[in-house]
Structure 1
Amino acid sequence: MADDERRLADETEDEIELARTEWERLAAERAARLEETVARLETQASELGMVEARLTAALAEEKELRARAEAAENSARTVLELAPDGIVRVDTAGTITFANEQAGRLFGYEPSELPGKKIESLIPRRFRGVHVAHRAEYTSNPRTRPMGVGLELYGLRKDGTEFPVEIALAPTYEHGDLTVTAIIRDITERKRAEEEIKRLNRVLESRVRARTAQLEATNRELEAFSYSVSHDLQAPLRHIEEFSRDLAERYSGKLGARGNKDVRFIRESALRMARLIDDILRLSRVGRAENSFCDVDLSATARSIADDLQRKEPGRGITFHIQPGLTCRADPGLIRIALEDLMGNAWKFTANTPDARIEFGMREEPGDGRVYFVRDNGAGFDMKYADRLFAPFQRLHSEEEFPGSGIGLAIVMRVIRRHGGRVWGEGEVGNGATFYFTINPEGEG
């Protein structure tokens, strides 16, 4: 009995030991799982903290961005409201979604009245049909259109009056939807100013035509008068020259030294006056001549003039340099007169120059194109008197130095002007002179 009880006790102890061992194992496992859960919870808590921090930062950033966006929108709205031009925004259906105060003033509405209206309500009725088609085309192919593209556009005010406008267009997007922003400018004052300028121009043109006709008539009268007077003076001058010559031949022995000197002075003065009259007649003929333009070989003309000068004074040791192949469209008679005067002056003013040279040529100049020139190495002139060169009867040298009437360069200027060109001179005392001219038959005067 005792053995059985002992055995039972031993078995009970074994079972208790096993149970205790199992309980300790289970407790250890639970403790491990609890530690793992705690660690996981701690990790999740840390992550949640980080997420919370990120969310807090994101919310703060969003708040700041919203504040910036609101500030930018308010700034943009302020700019739109303060803009001197009317500004409206229109959706693809043609409905106004925004209008600034200036747009309301332009069209005679309160700004709050415009949103919700069709844009065509601001356009004269006769243009509305075509505007709908243009609007549909624009929304299918949106692009920026600047002001001043040459379109005649008009706006319609609330009271029914029309006014001229310029409009710039630009596509914009709101929440991904296309809208069109239009900047509208009232150009009534500009149009009025343009019409006034046109009217004044018409008045000015009319006055210029009348003045030009008056000047042309006056010039014709002056030329006719100078021709008539010059022609009528020739006969008396011939008589003076003939009688003074006859007087010198018949009575030179009785006149004495003083008398012969006076008669010679009379003859020389009469001859000088005759040359002057001839030059006046030449100037008058140039003014009355009809232009007849054709292709002219300027090089050949210059060569012919050089040959004539050398035949008249074969003893002159002078060298001509004439650029070959120079041609232009001009009146052959008039352009020869101009070249004769220019080359004749060069011939005259190189009379006292050893190794004299006269050159005729052409060079290309920006703005002027072909510039022709006659150059010599003769007496030259002082540039401070250049403005007197082409005035009739203005001479920079005395009659004793170089005889002449002072008409030649005036004739040159008249010829060149009749060819639509200009002429000018450059020189230096003792180092020669160069006279330049251009020819532009299309701009003939």
Structure 2
Amino acid sequence: MKLRLSFCAGLSEAGGRSFLLQALLGCGLILLFWLLQAAIIHFLFDGGSFYQKLLHPDLHQVAEFSLVVFLVCCLLLSSRRSHRLQDQLESALKNALEKSEDDRAKLRGIVEAMGDAISIQAPDMTIVYQNRAHVEMMGRHVGEPCYQAYRQEKEICPGCHLAAAFEDGKVHRAKVSPDPLDGGRYVEITGSVLNGVDGRPALGIEVVRDVTAQRLAEREAAQLNLALTRQACELQQVNRELEAFCLAVAHDLRAPLTRIYSSAQELQGYSALLDENGRFFVSLVNDGCVQMESMIEALMTLCHVTEMEMVSTTVDLAQLAQELAAQLQLDTPGREVALKLPERVLVHGDRELLRIALGNLLSNAWKYTSNVTEPVIELGTLCNEQRELVVFVKDNGAGFDNLRAEELFQPFRRLHSAREFPGTGLGLATVRRIIRRHNGRVWGEGRPGEGATFYFTVNG
């Protein structure tokens, strides 16, 4: 390419010198014509003095000389124009060659910088180019037939993707798996052709991509998925067995608990025959039976919400909260609680399950504000960073240590004693299970003595 540019520059300089020589030659021809004309007239026609004919020509000589001068000038001007046109063409050729060389260098740089191994083959499968990645992968084999360089074969390999691309002009792909014994690489080969000016395939381009890491990652992911599927099945089976066990235990406990509770009720009729300690123990048995009955009910509810079939519909949580609050007011007459509700809170989910979840949250707020002079419970909504609708239940009751918030959602874990605030310890665990069935999240925030707020999302 540099030789071509130098040759173009040499042609331009030679063109300038050639025009100067042509101008000098034209002047010489004019002078020669003048001399020859004077000599011919002197010797052939009138025989006058040569110098007189040379220095004092007649009108006929002047006219002929002027015509010759005009023709020579036209010739020189035409030559000059042709030289200028040649200079322009040479300049355009030089610029085009420079741009072509620049584009070629850029293209080569791009191909060399690519991570994929690229080689170019002639129609007879002779390798004419390899980029750096291809040389590192396969070794340098420019000038050799590809089937001989890569496969040590004497003819084109059967089913060769590049040969098929030369045949039909389409893109052909092939995947090569290594021999399990030699620890080779997985590669993906793409063969295509580059057509010449006549529209026929002129070069074949082969791209070799090392997909070993991808294949190994896919294999590992498949193994992990299989292991996770097995664990999920095992966990599902364990959960079913655990839920069945809980239901069986809760059901079997009801009969003896009923007998104990009935006996304690009957013993209260003999309170006159009992001393103070006897009446205390009878009352203690009665209260324990009531608490046990509440725990069995909560445990059965927890199992029920897991097995219950979901029927998704549009649910107004504000309306549900109003109904639940009215029921709480009937259960605890004499309490005055300020309830703040929006006009509507529409979510998509199972109405009965959401009633149980919202009922547990409102019951908690109602319970933990029992020692507050002016209790306030609020149901509201907000939008998080993911543009999800977040529903919250807020109260100004006893609150809790925010560092232990996660413990609240574990069965039978309580942050307050049963004497302060009686309960089963299963309410928030039931809420979490319901919200998870709605593909949502639930979390709580609070401070001791400053109230608590529970948030949840519903994506049912």
Question: How big is each residue's C-alpha offset from its partner over 1:234-256, in whole Å with a ceiling of 9 and x where there is no partner?
Answer: 12122212212222221x23321
Structure 1 vs Structure 2 CA RMSD:
4.2
Amino acid at match of 1:233: L
**For 1:218, which of 238, 254, 257 is the aligned residue?**
238
Residue equivalent to 1:320: 339
Residue equivalent to 1:340: 359
Which secondary structure state, in structure 1, belongs to the residue aligned with residue 417 of structure 2? coil
Inter-CA distance 255–101: structure 2 relative to 1 (3 Å threshold): closer
Query: Are 1:306 and 2:343 an aligned pair?
Result: no
Inter-CA distance 78–297: structure 2 relative to 1 (3 Å threshold): closer
Question: How big is each residue's C-alpha offset from its partner over 1:185-224, in whole Å with a ceiling of 9 and x where there is no partner?
Answer: 441xx24x43333333333333322322222222122112
Gaps of 5+ in 1: 1-68, 138-150, 156-160, 172-178
Inter-CA distance 303–122: structure 2 relative to 1 (3 Å threshold): farther
Inter-CA distance 283–92: structure 2 relative to 1 (3 Å threshold): same
Inter-CA distance 80–429: structure 2 relative to 1 (3 Å threshold): closer
Which secondary structure state, in structure 2, belongs to the residue aligned with residue 113 of structure 1? coil
Q: Which stretch has the larger CA shift, 88-97 or 428-437? A: 88-97
Which secondary structure state, in structure 2, belongs to the residue aligned with residue 393 of structure 1? coil
Aligned pair count?
339
Query: Are 1:419 and 2:399 an aligned pair?
Result: no
| Counterpart-to-counterpart distance in 2, 1:183 and 1:209 | 40
Inter-CA distance 376–362: structure 2 relative to 1 (3 Å threshold): same
**For 2:142, which of 96, 99, 111 is the aligned residue?**
111
**For 1:353, which of 365, 372, 388 is the aligned residue?**
372
Aligned positions of 1:157-306 closer than 5 A: 164-165=187-188, 184-187=207-210, 190-191=211-212, 193-250=213-270, 252-306=271-325
Residue equivalent to 2:384: 365
Residue equivalent to 2:393: 374
Inter-CA distance 152–234: structure 2 relative to 1 (3 Å threshold): same
| Counterpart-to-counterpart distance in 1, 2:111 and 2:421 | 79
Is the 8 Å Cα contact of residues 375 and 434 (structure 1) preserved in structure 2? Answer: yes
Amino acid at match of 2:258: R
| Counterpart-to-counterpart distance in 2, 1:82 and 1:304 | 70
| Counterpart-to-counterpart distance in 2, 1:291 and 1:255 | 53
Is the 8 Å Cα contact of residues 126 and 144 (structure 2) preserved in structure 1? Answer: no
Inter-CA distance 152–430: structure 2 relative to 1 (3 Å threshold): farther
Q: CA deviation at 1:122?
A: 9.9
Identity %: 34
| Counterpart-to-counterpart distance in 2, 1:418 and 1:356 | 32
Is the 8 Å Cα contact of residues 101 and 110 (structure 1) preserved in structure 2? Answer: no
Q: CA deviation at 1:98?
A: 4.0
TM-score computed with the length of structure 2 as normaliser: 0.63
Inter-CA distance 370–249: structure 2 relative to 1 (3 Å threshold): same
Query: Are 1:130 and 2:170 an aligned pair?
Result: no
Aligned positions of 1:402-417 closer than 5 A: 402-417=421-436
TM-score computed with the length of structure 1 as normaliser: 0.65
Inter-CA distance 82–226: structure 2 relative to 1 (3 Å threshold): closer
Amino acid at match of 1:271: V
Amino acid at match of 1:128: A
| Counterpart-to-counterpart distance in 2, 1:78 and 1:370 | 52
| Counterpart-to-counterpart distance in 1, 2:374 and 2:138 | 84
Is the 8 Å Cα contact of residues 401 and 447 (structure 2) preserved in structure 1? Answer: yes
Q: CA deviation at 1:101?
A: 7.0
Aligned positions of 1:56-75 closer than 5 A: none
Question: How big is each residue's C-alpha offset from its partner over 1:66-120, in whole Å with a ceiling of 9 and x where there is no partner?
Answer: xxx9xxx9xx9999999986555679999865445764565566334379x9xxx
Is the 8 Å Cα contact of residues 381 and 390 (structure 2) preserved in structure 1? Answer: yes
